[in-house]
Structure 1
Amino acid sequence: MAVDYEAWCVEEPRMASVARVATVTMRLLLEVDNIDIVVTRETERIWRFDWGSAATAQVVVMGPEYAEIPGRWSVFAEALSAGKRGWTVMEFDEFDALVLRTREGLRTQDYPEGFFPFDSWRSSEEEVERVEHELDVRLPGQYKEFMVRHGGGAFLFIDLLPVVAPGPREEDLVLVNRDSLREMGFLAVAPVGTGDWCDFALTGTECGEAVDLRSHDDGLREREAPGFLDFLVRHGLRWDS
């Protein structure tokens, strides 16, 4: 079972306010008081509250530039009971809301002519299935859904390989990965600009859900995010910077 709750503040909320919003969602979900709480600050704007092993709440704080009510801070909380397996830090409804609010904030900024913060080179489900077959891999679920709903290319502060290139001069998932996929043991999805790649680790034909940064010098891997949407929020939208 899951519930969500949103509150608005006239100024930047303090930790006590964030905790109160989390507590409201927990009481709605569990009908118990908040005991045995463990608080983890995952990013600058995201907190996680664990009520023992019973449930977890995630709270996202958004500045007035992204809030639905002009001039107000927004505090959004989602609580999930332990009975629901597969709890993920970032869900698509919350992710889409962050993207929307980011786009709204960008409207007030001036950019050079020809600059597009989001390319949105979307792929169809049929194209995704065809690329999986061609590369003989099973892509992560979040990644596939994102590429259908949002697409590759520029995603504000990062670039994402499109599943299928929009033109003959563009790199895509197949062009970059087909010759070295099995040898390297990973599927590259986002260039860093230094010759390094952000990628999914490959086990047999299965891509892992986590996103890693792979060094081209020594092949060392560093974990960037536990899932693709978390990676996009942290490095594309830079909500934790």
Structure 2
Amino acid sequence: MNYKEFLLTVNEARNKRPIWFGLESEPKCNDNHIEKVERVLSLSLPDEYKIFVKELGGGYFAFTNIFSVNDIGDWYIVNLNNQIGLLETHSFLAVSDTEAGDYYGFTIEKGVCSSRVMFYNHEINKVEETKYENLYDYILDVGLNPR
């Protein structure tokens, strides 16, 4: 799914159910924020993630949360990943927290994050495959699909 298709679906959901988007979110960012995060974490972020944080920010987003590249917020991806510790142990960058000890994010190979969203399962201490080809697929399924 591309950003244009994703945004159309998000805007439809926002118009039908604005309360889903009423929780506090992080501000949008710019290229400087993204470059700083990539430099500090020594990696390259997926394009879908970069576009999302530039256009929509981070923090709570409907029924999920997306870590931000804005260093003034509570959802700052660098601080959260340093606390989580999966970068070093699993080559995994968390970008969304289930708030139950598990995370969605990207695997890293040779300093490049995959676009495919993976799942870190804390009960088995393992990163597992998901059906999500990219961040947009994840957000549409998890964030805009109340269970």
Which whole-Å deviations, capped at 9, do the CAs of 1:4-34 have from their partners, x for residues lacking one?
xxxxxxxxxxxxxxxxxxxxxxxxxxxxxxx
Which structure: greater helix fraction? Answer: 2
Identity level (%): 27
3-state secondary structure, aligned to 1:210: coil
Note if 1:174 corresponds to 2:78. yes
Q: Where does the alignment leave 5 or more consecutive residues of structure 2 unmatched?
A: none
3-state secondary structure, aligned to 1:154: strand
Residue in 2 aligned with 1:238? 145
Q: CA RMSD in A?
A: 2.2
Q: In the alignment, residue 78 of structure 2 is paired with which amino acid?
A: V
3-state secondary structure, aligned to 1:225: coil
Cα contact 2:63–2:144 (8 A) shared by 1: yes
Cα deviation for residue 122 of structure 1 reads 1.2
Q: 1:193, 1:214 → 2: CA distance? A: 12
Cα contact 1:213–1:224 (8 A) shared by 2: no
Number of matched residues?
A: 144
Cα deviation for residue 150 of structure 1 reads 0.8
Which structure: greater strand fraction? Answer: 1
Q: 1:118, 1:230 → 2: CA distance? A: 22
Residue in 1 aligned with 2:40? 134
Residue in 1 aligned with 2:12? 101
Q: 2:101, 2:62 → 1: CA distance? A: 20
Q: In the alignment, residue 235 of structure 1 is paired with which amino acid?
A: V
Cα deviation for residue 184 of structure 1 reads 2.2
Instruction: Decide which of 131, 137, 151 is 2:57's aligned counterpart.
Output: 151
Q: 1:202, 1:159 → 2: CA distance? A: 21
Q: 2:6, 2:133 → 1: CA distance? A: 15
Q: In the alignment, residue 231 of structure 1 is paired with which amino acid?
A: Y
Larger RCO (CA under 8 A, 6+ residues apart): 2
Q: Which has the larger radius of gyration?
A: 1
Cα contact 2:24–2:60 (8 A) shared by 1: yes
Residue in 2 aligned with 1:222? 129
Cα contact 2:41–2:78 (8 A) shared by 1: yes
TM-score between the two structures when normalised by the length of structure 1: 0.55
Q: Which runs of 4+ in 1 moved over 3 A?
A: none
3-state secondary structure, aligned to 2:51: helix
